[in-house]
Structure 1
């Protein structure tokens, strides 16, 4: 298979190195380059490449290159290109993983890096074809089993023979209280579970996202995100939940997810 690509990097030498290495693979088709956030978004929207080689630790901070570019792509495109981070900064690898990038390559890239990337891309394409066939054959079955999905998971809070059953779709947020966790329902009711917030973080998946050392929020119940005040507002209540810088990337993910659905920004 062949893959069109663009390079977004404010470092000219880095751009040339990436382009030179990519040029040795006939499967990779060069489209163009950009050296800042705005031009990067524009070249992607105009050309809709399969791949984006992205620098997220720019030499010039005015270029505004960062992982936030991925959020903008989710806002503007139904199908986002595969993102390959190419940077000197090893420390940003974990943050990149949270954005589900396809690969993370350190400058200066080697031929081996690109061979591994192409293998991954080809495997993903083959798996996607198989997945599409499987989705078609299981559509009816999945529809009937939706009540068993993560959003419809039944949570059992057990204490001394008392079994309390909670539909996770009714949970607005969870708050840490030392070694226990307060589960706040959409009705305003609060239930205490004698498990740590860390336990619930590992047990619950999206739309449950940790945004603070003390809070996990069901993103379906967020009515407003105020980044200036670092607060999330909960639907149909006056509750405001803080989020911390440590989990700012999770807030970016929530914003991206909301904007990728049936969405109009005015």
Structure 2
């Protein structure tokens, strides 16, 4: 029987325990570890490469920093993403979760039947994948046999003459150019009563919360208001956008300076200073680590 390792990432210790108790009822599931916040969870996944991740994306404690953005972060480091099983108390984020390609979406509390369905779903996916590979393999063999049956056997002398003729003929090497399709930039569309406002995500410096709406600041100095909460943007945006404060999400490509003493980030070509809080200090440390991991010299 194949074994599937898993990690639980949830800021609620009771939920972690309940999920683990249910999972232990399945001999094919092997527990590795659990984490209560974004950074701990990321470190565990990168170190152990589990098959499954049970992930909470709408925690009661925002300090854990858990959201769908965690999945986006995995794509920065891993070529093969673990199968994500969302475990949360509401259906509200189900559609957004689908956009991130999660394997399953389960409402808390997790039950034995929920995991039965998930493992049956996995079994079906693996079976269909195997069938597809077998079908492709059989088709290849059939084509090969068909081609072989069409080969004509020529006399040895004729074959020798053909070989000598080929050796005398000039060899023409045709250069094949592979056209690379450039990746399209992410476009953010802000809709309001039939008004569609488009902007390149790369032009956005930062997002600032304003009650139930969010102000979007562009590198041109322009500000656009969207009638969505900052938490909504946090759930759909991935690198280089990262939350550093209850009121701010920043595009780290526009950071020119980070002052830990004053707990502020400076924006390029601007006098604007964006504060960061202790709650999101781990994210600021991640930004610093990202800078140092590139083409970087520290003096």
3-state SS in 2 of match to 1:10: coil
RMSD: 4.0
1:248 paired residue number: 233
Change (3 A) 1:128 1:215: farther
Shift of 1:21: 0.6
Q: 1:210 touches 1:250 (CA, 8 Å); kept in 2?
A: no
TM-score w.r.t. structure 1 length? 0.58
**Alpha-carbon displacement from aligned partner over 1:153-203 (angstroms, at most 9, x marks no partner):** xxxxxxxxxxxxxxxx9xx8xxxxxxxxxxxxxxxxxxxxxxxxxxxxxxx
Shift of 1:3: 1.2
**Alpha-carbon displacement from aligned partner over 1:65-109 (angstroms, at most 9, x marks no partner):** 111111111111111111101111222222222212111111111
Q: Report 1:98-247 matches (<5 A).
A: 98-131=99-132, 211-213=189-191, 214-215=196-197, 224-228=203-207, 230=216, 244=226, 246=228
Q: Distance in 1 between matches of 2:72 and 2:83?
A: 13
Q: 2:87 touches 2:105 (CA, 8 Å); kept in 1?
A: yes
Q: Distance in 2 between matches of 1:232 and 1:134?
A: 51
Q: 2:56 touches 2:86 (CA, 8 Å); kept in 1?
A: yes
Change (3 A) 1:10 1:216: same
Larger Rg: 2
Change (3 A) 1:89 1:27: same
Aligned residues: 191
3-state SS in 1 of match to 2:34: strand
Change (3 A) 1:248 1:130: farther
Change (3 A) 1:116 1:107: same
3-state SS in 2 of match to 1:109: coil
Q: Report 1:7-18 matches (<5 A).
A: 7-18=8-19
Q: 1:84 touches 1:102 (CA, 8 Å); kept in 2?
A: yes
Shift of 1:53: 0.2
2:250 paired residue number: none
Q: Distance in 1 between matches of 2:238 and 2:84?
A: 15
Q: 1:211 touches 1:248 (CA, 8 Å); kept in 2?
A: no
Is 1:73 matched up with 2:74? yes
3-state SS in 1 of match to 2:73: helix
Change (3 A) 1:101 1:93: same
3-state SS in 2 of match to 1:16: helix
Provide structure 1 residue ranges, at least 5 long, that are not aligned to the other structure: 139-145, 152-168, 173-206, 257-263
TM-score w.r.t. structure 2 length? 0.52
3-state SS in 2 of match to 1:44: helix
Is 1:25 matched up with 2:26? yes
Q: 2:69 touches 2:238 (CA, 8 Å); kept in 1?
A: no
3-state SS in 2 of match to 1:230: strand
3-state SS in 2 of match to 1:25: coil
3-state SS in 2 of match to 1:38: helix
